[in-house]
Amino acid sequence: MVTSHKDLKLWQESMILVEDVYKIAVDFPKEEMFGLTSQIKRSAVSIPSNIAEGAGRRGKAEFIRFLYIALGSTSELETQLEISVRLGFMQKNEEIFKRVYFVKNMITKLIKSLNNKHAYIH
């Protein structure tokens, strides 16, 4: 039974993604600290934050709305990571991209599940 956003496997996986992003960002050029590094961290943190906020709201529709925001942040993060590879700030790290796709897929599946008229949350 889900009693908190912390019980959601999706939230747990997105928190691991944040940790992974922060580990990678340490090696980015110092001149990017307020540029791409900051944006990547912000996008990553936005994912579990929106999942938590949505889960804490009343009703399925609001939760779904915040899941869509988290999904957007996941796509944003994926793009920023790809930019980082193209600019040579990081090597292509298949593990981080797999985690991004995994989280993105989990969000999409949860949205579909909640859109099922018989789904119940809270």
Query: What pLDDT does 83 receive?
Result: 96
pLDDT at residue 66 is higher than 90: yes
Predicted local distance difference test score (pLDDT) of residue 76? 98
Average pLDDT score, the chain = 92
Q: Do residues 24 and 50 touch, judged by C-beta distance below 8 A?
A: no
Candidates 81, 82, 84, 19; CA nearest to 45 is: 19
- Interval 10-55: pLDDT, tens: 999 999 999 999 999 999 999 888 899 999 999 999 999 999 999 9
User: Above 80 in pLDDT, residue 2?
Assistant: no
Sorted by where each begins, the domain ranges of the chain are: 5-115
Q: If one looks up domain 5-115 in CATH, what number appears?
A: 1.20.1440.60
